[in-house]
Amino acid sequence: MTSNSEFAPVHLAVYDTLADWETGYATAFLARAGYEIRTVAADSLDPVTTAGGVRIQPDLTLADLRPEDSALLILPGADLWDAGDDLAPFGRAARAFLDADVPVAAICGATAGLAREGLLDERTHTSAVSFYLAATGYKGAERYVDVDAVTDGRLTTAGPTEPVAFAREILGRLGAFEGAKLDAWYRLFHDSDASAYEVLES
């Protein structure tokens, strides 16, 4: 196992109504690969409550988040993405990360936040369904692809039913698994393919 000190931390955005199921595969296996997972709230270190009723104590706020100190920013879905502008600061943080050439991964409602920020206008992307993003009024509809998850440059996107594919893109990006082992990991957790154990243990 690689020491945490060898990697910049991965930052996970946290906010009320966060969709618990969307990032667990990614964060668990990044942690096992040696990455520290640090939680980032908008402007307060008060605990947030996920959609599943889990309380999370943030490690820092956006004011203290710097792209150069991070390996990746993960933006989970949440009801709040479609309930006003409370999470818009995370869209701006994603822009700062991408401008600094630091990866961003967004799933479900967070993709709409990126669309509103204009970050999907010129990047290939996916989400829950195309008309969900179209409702944001963004200009990137021609770049939408109907796949489980997609990475274009430094940006990964996925829909809410694809946490394993989302994790696959992230784990491959950060080198937690590569090549045949990444494929085997995906087959194991997405397809329940028991034969993948042999590859992962080799």
- Mapped onto helix, strand or coil, the DSSP state of residue 155 is strand
Q: With contact defined as beta carbons under 8 Å apart, do 40 and 61 qualify?
A: yes
What does the alpha-carbon distance between residue 65 and residue 150 come to, in Å, rounded to a whole number? 25
CA dihedral 152, 185, 110, 53 (to 10 degrees): -170
157 neighbors 127 (Cβ within 8 angstroms): yes
Q: What does the DSSP 8-state code read for residue 57?
A: -
What residues are annotated to the active site?
A: 108
Are 122 and 140 contacting, i.e. CB atoms less than 8 angstroms apart? yes
- Separation CA 129–CA 148 (nearest Å): 11
Cα separation, 77 vs 1, in Å, equals 30
Whether the Cβ atoms of residue 32 and residue 24 lie closer than 8 Å to each other: no
